[in-house]
């Protein structure tokens, strides 16, 4: 009691945890402590705020010595051990929680899914300590405040918090419902609304600051004010630049808390829709700053993102290999929408980044944009050859291909029209479909071939005739009626690309297609090579880079092994082009947070979910830029534990009646209907992004036409 009397000037001081601090009759020593707290901390107004101060954090603040820390500890101790509400009646007379009506689903909601304040998180811990684990909303509803108040180490403060928490439960559950609804709706706030709202919020926040803090904010932001450096502001106040930096930090940190639009929602709108100059999208706010640089820096403060994040969107750099690979499988001009969707879905770009990246490629002379779409410029020879064949399903002689490439200027270098050169026999996009004639692989449907069966038949022929080498052409005619029907040059391509995995070595030199048994080859050897290469590489590798490490040098061979390794969970596809091991792919990723969002997505849907939905919402919620492939891989390794079903990139809590999205289009879509009507049809059966829906219908239409 002596300690309490030393702190309070009057032992009859009556207070509650919501009592304003200025109503406390404190002794001079503790009045000095309160003044110092007001200087170094914001939002300290009530007794509860004093109790909630973390001693460790407080001790590390500027100008806080041991005496202040000891005084705060004493004050908190005295408050906690004084009968709060001395003038109030006993706990039985406190107004208890009114009857709350909740659904069974709401009652079963885990408490860790609610966005609880630090105060209520501490309350849950105290409840768990006093009466056992409190895990669900039902557990909280069942607690009797009077019984709770009589337990050891439970004061009136915790009882009042429990009563208040019960009253606020419907509100917390409503927020949780809104959070889940987020997964069904994209952020879509008009920029003129953002513009006006931000100005009002910022001005309101500035008026809430004291004169010094307002001046620091205006000077450092340059908001309708001359921008000043830390040193310049420090000189005016006769303090160090470090002291100004310390004062500025909480000002910037607290600013987003006063915004009508949450920081992550604001950033989601900006990073997805900033396809124009941001100063034109937010003209009124931009006028408050002398330079674009200051304006962009301020937006980054509002959004709580790293410095330079906006510039990264405006000046997005896209690897030309990504765009050029699209030209290898699409005739030009490619509709810009198709390229944007590809960059978003398969490479993790936001829509704004994709559009701005395309603009940058045009400025660099890598592509040409027209009203009809995007045309290639400066392709490599192999890419130019592949692109010229996208309009010729039956293939073309090499001389005709060279002429098309030169006439249209597809390649950065002229092709020799007198002989077959580089770009024909070393391409992963085309194959020899007749003597001197080449065809784009996009026209070859691999799903119709049972590759293991084809290879086994060839192996059996070797064994039956006791051969170690043969001419493939001779084998083809000798067994014409004994095996599945296949065109010779298709068989030649399959053996050339995939044969080595089965111990069949192809040699197509000197116009003789020879095949021999590689007696020393063990199928696991090439698998080990790829795993070893990926483990040793500091970065993810492309299929072409991996193929270079194989004896066959075949990208088809590399792709065959990579697909098997991905199914086994030993390799992860990071995006459309590159691969690595799971350990490297998920290193430094908050996989727990990612999976929580993905599980929320699956819990809100009773239909099939396509993997790009994971990409869209995880990237938006956590401000990431990964492709759908990495999220698909993360889910795949936990599939058994989750008890979900997967077919290709489709996920569901029930069996999936489709092989993949293309199979779904074939079964559900109507070729007589326009694209937007077919998109509506598949969206009823599967939850997918607009980007994937557009691309799926485009590919289905293309297949139908060919």
- Strand 437-440 relative to strand 430-434: parallel, antiparallel, unpaired? antiparallel
Full 3-state SS string of 345-386: HHHCCCHHHHHHHHHHHHHCCCEEECCCCEEECCECHHHHHH
The answer to whether residue 278 is domain-embedded is yes
Among 217-226, 277-286, 328-337, 507-516, whose mean pLDDT is lowest? Answer: 507-516
- 433 and 455: one domain? no
Residues 456 and 427 in one domain: no
Strands 514-517 and 504-507: antiparallel
pLDDT at 484 over 80: no
pLDDT at position 99 is 58
The length of the chain, given as a count of residues: 706
Rounded Cα distance between 611 and 633, Å, is 10
Using CA atoms, how far apart are residues 338 and 330, in angstroms rounded to an integer? 10
Cβ-count burial of 443 within 10 angstroms (0-12 exposed, 13-18 middle, 19+ buried)? middle
User: pLDDT class for 1, splitting at 50, 70, 90?
Assistant: very low
Is the confidence at residue 427, as pLDDT, over 90?
no
Cis amide leading into 366 (omega within 30): no
d(CA 669, CA 661): 11
- The DSSP secondary-structure symbol of 543 reads H
d(CA 19, CA 24): 8
CATH code: domain of residue 272: 1.10.10.10
| Domain assignment of residue 571, yes or no | yes
Token pair listed for 410: 């597809």
pLDDT band per the 50, 70, 90 thresholds, residue 73: confident
The end-to-end CA distance of the chain, in Å, is: 91
pLDDT at 679: 87
Is 412 part of any domain?
Answer: yes
Could you give phi then psi for residue 368, rounded to 5 degrees? Answer: -130, 130
Residue 580 lies in a domain: yes
Domain identity same for 203 and 270: yes
Identify whether residues 43 and 129 lie together within a single domain: no
- What does the pLDDT read at residue 500? 84
Query: pLDDT-derived band of residue 702, with 50, 70 and 90 as boundaries?
Result: confident
Structure token pair of residue 360: 């940058």
Q: How confident is the model at residue 522 (pLDDT cuts 50, 70, 90)?
A: very low
**Percent residues over pLDDT 90 in the chain:** 37
Phi-psi category of 395—alpha, beta or left, where left has phi over 0 and alpha has psi -120 to 50? left
For the stretch 411-423, pLDDT in tens is 888 888 888 777 7
pLDDT of residue 92: 39
Residue 656 belongs to some domain of the structure: yes
Mean predicted confidence (pLDDT) in 482-506: 88
Would you say residue 378 lies in a domain?
Answer: no
Residues 133-174 pLDDT 10s = 777 888 888 888 877 777 776 777 788 888 888 888 888 777
Q: Residue 655: its pLDDT value, please?
A: 93
Q: Nearest Cα to 75, choosing from 126, 8, 122, 14?
A: 8
Work out the number of other CB atoms within 10 angstroms of the CB of residue 149: 18
Q: How confident is the model at residue 49 (pLDDT cuts 50, 70, 90)?
A: confident
Whether 41 and 53 have beta carbons less than 8 Å apart is answered as yes
Let me know whether 608 and 695 are in one domain: yes
Same-domain status, 497 and 535? no
Instruction: Quote the pLDDT of residue 140.
Output: 86
Kindly indicate the confidence band of residue 520, based on its pLDDT and cuts at 50, 70 and 90: low
DSSP string computed for 623-685: T----HHHHHHHHHTTHHHHT-EEETTEEESS--S-SSHHHHHHHH--TTS-HHHHHHHHHHH
Run of H or E including 702: helix 690-705
Q: What is the mean pLDDT of residues 355-363?
A: 94
User: Band of the pLDDT at 95, cuts 50, 70, 90?
Assistant: very low
Q: Which stretches of 393-500 are assigned E, i.e. beta strand? A: 396-397, 430-434, 437-440, 469-471
- Per-residue pLDDT tens for 272-302? 778 878 899 999 999 999 999 999 999 999 9
Quick one: average pLDDT of 458-484? 89
Domain identity same for 176 and 133: yes
Do 208 and 110 sit in the same domain of this protein?
no
Residues 545 and 594 in one domain: no
Summarised one tens digit per residue, pLDDT across range 529-577 is: 888 889 888 888 988 888 888 776 777 778 888 888 988 889 998 888 8
> What are the tens digits of pLDDT across the range 331-356?
999 999 999 999 999 999 988 999 99
When the pLDDT of each residue in the chain is averaged and rounded to a whole number, the result is 84
Tokens of 157: 């403060």
Torsion of the alpha carbons at 664, 666, 671 and 677, rounded to the nearest 10: 0
Percentage of residues of the chain with pLDDT beyond 70: 89
| 241-254 and 211-221 helices, crossing angle to 10° | 90
State which of 517, 533, 561 marks the end of a domain.
517
pLDDT tier at 621, thresholds 50, 70, 90: confident
Phi, psi for 392 (deg, rounded to 5): -130, 85
- Give the domain-ending residue among 314, 339, 361: 314
- Please report the pLDDT score of residue 142 as a whole number: 84
The predicted pLDDT at position 575 comes to: 85
Q: Is residue 694 part of a domain?
A: yes
pLDDT digits (tens, 9 = 90+) for 184-198: 454 567 888 889 889
In the structure, what pLDDT confidence band is assigned to residue 439 with cuts at 50, 70 and 90?
very high
**Residue 428 is part of which domain span?**
394-443
Which is nearest to 523 in space by CA: 555, 550, 542? 550
DSSP at 542? E
Number of domains observed in the structure of the chain: 7
239 domain-assigned: yes
Task: Return the number of other C-beta atoms located less than 10 Å from residue 6's C-beta.
Answer: 13
Radius of gyration of the chain (CA): 34
pLDDT of residue 286: 94
What's the whole-number mean pLDDT along residues 631-647? Answer: 93
Which structure tokens are listed for 114? 């609610």
Q: Indicate yes or no: pTM above 0.85.
A: no
């Amino acid at each position: 009691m002596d300690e309490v009397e030393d702190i309070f000037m009057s032992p009859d001081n009556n207070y509650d945890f919501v009592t304003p601090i200025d109503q406390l009759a404190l002794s001079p020593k503790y009045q000095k402590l309160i003044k110092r707290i007001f200087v170094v901390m914001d939002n300290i107004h009530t007794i509860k705020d004093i109790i909630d101060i973390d001693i460790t954090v407080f001790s590390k603040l500027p100008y806080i010595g041991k005496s202040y820390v000891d005084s705060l500890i004493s004050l908190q101790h005295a408050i906690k051990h004084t009968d709060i509400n001395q003038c109030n009646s006993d706990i039985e007379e406190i107004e208890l929680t009114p009857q709350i009506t909740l659904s069974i689903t709401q009652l079963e909601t885990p408490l860790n899914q609610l966005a609880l304040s630090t105060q209520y998180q501490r309350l849950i811990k105290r409840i768990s300590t006093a009466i056992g684990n409190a895990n669900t909303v039902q557990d909280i509803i069942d607690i009797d405040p009077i019984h709770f108040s009589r337990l050891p180490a439970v004061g009136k403060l915790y009882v009042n918090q429990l009563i208040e928490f019960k009253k606020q439960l419907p509100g917390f559950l409503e927020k949780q419902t809104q959070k889940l609804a987020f997964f069904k709706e994209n952020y879509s706030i008009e920029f003129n609304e953002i513009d006006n709202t931000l100005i009002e919020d910022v001005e309101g926040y500035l008026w809430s600051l004291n004169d010094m803090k307002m001046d620091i904010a205006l000077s450092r932001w340059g908001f309708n004010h001359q921008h000043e450096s830390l040193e310049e502001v420090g000189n005016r106040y006769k303090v160090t630049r470090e002291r100004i930096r310390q004062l500025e930090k909480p000002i910037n940190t607290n600013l987003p808390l006063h915004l009508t639009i949450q920081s992550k929602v604001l950033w989601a709108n900006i990073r997805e829709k900033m396809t124009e100059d941001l100063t034109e999208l937010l003209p009124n706010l931009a006028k408050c700053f002398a330079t674009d640089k200051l304006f962009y820096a301020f937006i980054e403060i509002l959004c709580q993102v790293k410095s330079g994040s906006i510039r990264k969107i405006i000046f997005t750099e896209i690897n030309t290999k990504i765009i050029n690979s699209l030209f290898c499988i699409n005739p030009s001009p490619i509709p810009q929408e198709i390229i944007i969707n590809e960059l978003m879905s398969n490479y993790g770009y936001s829509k704004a980044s994709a559009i701005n990246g395309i603009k940058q490629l045009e400025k660099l002379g890598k592509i040409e944009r027209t009203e009809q779409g995007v045309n290639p410029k400066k392709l490599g020879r192999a890419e130019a050859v592949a692109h010229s064949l996208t309009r010729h399903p039956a293939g073309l002689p090499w001389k005709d291909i060279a002429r098309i490439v030169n006439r249209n200027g597809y390649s950065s270098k002229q092709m020799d029209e007198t002989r077959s050169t580089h770009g024909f026999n070393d391409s992963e996009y085309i194959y020899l479909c007749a003597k001197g004639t080449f065809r784009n692989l996009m026209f070859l449907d691999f799903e119709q071939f049972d590759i293991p069966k084809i290879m086994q038949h060839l192996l059996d022929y070797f064994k039956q005739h006791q051969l170690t080498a043969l001419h493939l052409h001779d084998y083809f005619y000798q067994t014409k009626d004994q095996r599945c029907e296949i065109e010779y040059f298709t068989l030649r391509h399959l053996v050339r690309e995939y044969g080595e995995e089965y111990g069949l070595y192809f040699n197509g030199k000197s116009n003789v297609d020879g095949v021999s048994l590689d007696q020393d080859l063990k199928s696991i050897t090439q698998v080990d090579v790829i795993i070893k290469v990926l483990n040793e590489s500091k970065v993810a590798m492309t299929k072409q880079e991996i193929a270079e490490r194989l004896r066959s040098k075949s990208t088809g061979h590399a792709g065959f092994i990579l697909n098997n390794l991905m199914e086994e969970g030993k390799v992860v596809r990071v995006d459309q082009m590159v691969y690595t091991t799971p350990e490297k792919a998920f290193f430094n990723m908050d996989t727990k947070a990612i999976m929580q969002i993905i599980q929320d997505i699956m819990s809100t849907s009773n239909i099939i979910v396509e993997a790009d939905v994971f990409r869209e919402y995880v990237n938006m919620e956590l401000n990431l830029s990964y492709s759908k492939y990495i999220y698909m891989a993360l889910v795949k390794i936990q599939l058994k534990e989750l008890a979900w079903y997967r077919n290709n990139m489709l996920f569901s809590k029930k069996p999936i009646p489709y092989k993949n999205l293309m199979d779904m289009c074939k079964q559900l879509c109507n070729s007589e209907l326009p694209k937007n009507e077919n998109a509506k049809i598949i969206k009823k059966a599967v939850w997918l992004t607009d980007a994937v829906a557009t691309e799926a219908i485009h590919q289905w239409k293309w297949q139908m036409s060919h």
